[in-house]
Amino acid sequence: MADDFKITAQEMPAAIEAILFASGDPVNIERLAECLNSKKAAVEEVLKGLMEKYEQNPWGGLVIRKMEDSYCMMTKPNQKRILDRMFGPKAQVPLSQASYETLAVIAYNQPCTRAQVETVRGVSSDSIISRLLDRGWIEEAGNLDAPGRPALFRTSRQFLAEFGIESVAELPPMELMSYKTIRDLEDSLRKAAGGEDKQITIDSLLDKKEEDKQEEQEDGSGDN
């Protein structure tokens, strides 16, 4: 049955705002286009204009953010102080440096298994991965086609939202082990502006560890 629903170009910005506001969660661009019975390109063009309007309004408290192929309406980061007064600050236990390290390994090598993360870190990561899952920064992404079918992990939409990036492609080309705190990673993300891709992988990190080990052995031999 043909869908005879129609919406004018003038009505579309308000319609999109209403959908995003009422949804609360990110809405896929395909779902938006289907609901509006409009072409995806037309919806994306309107969304681009809305995002610029919200971002450039110094007196507004909301923004529209793109996360991969979805869009979400959310509060501006500079409104955290007043939101804490209204709802109370979120009491979250600070994550350890090992947790940030594990998060970085997953972010730069996703999807990856627990075993792959532990190969990089050299220690068990079960409890840390569980904490990252509870925090909402990572999620399961299916299973590896290998004996035992181990779970694969990737960063989540919440990770993108809290770090202020559209996709993991915007992760800065930096040594993943350099992130000692969440602030370090946030600052580097803000400064990321393209350039040569130097993102580290599990294989290259293992090669680097082997090189470092050989250098240490050579240095030790030279001291004798």
pTM over 0.85: no
Name the residue with tokens 């919200």: 54
The token pair at 68 is 């991969």
- 30: phi then psi, degrees, rounded to nearest 5: -65, -40
The percentage of the chain sitting over the pLDDT mark of 70, rounded to a whole number, equals 74
pLDDT at position 71? 95
Q: What is the pLDDT of residue 2?
A: 67
Do 31 and 40 contact (CB within 8 A), yes or no? no
What CA–CA distances, in Å, run from 129 to 139, 147, 201? Answer: 9, 21, 19
Q: How many residues does the chain have?
A: 224
**Domains of the chain, start order:** 12-77 (1.10.10.10), 97-191 (1.10.10.10)
Mean pLDDT of the chain: 80
Task: Kindly state the average pLDDT of the residues 133-155.
Answer: 91
Q: Which residues pair with 154 in a beta bridge?
A: 139
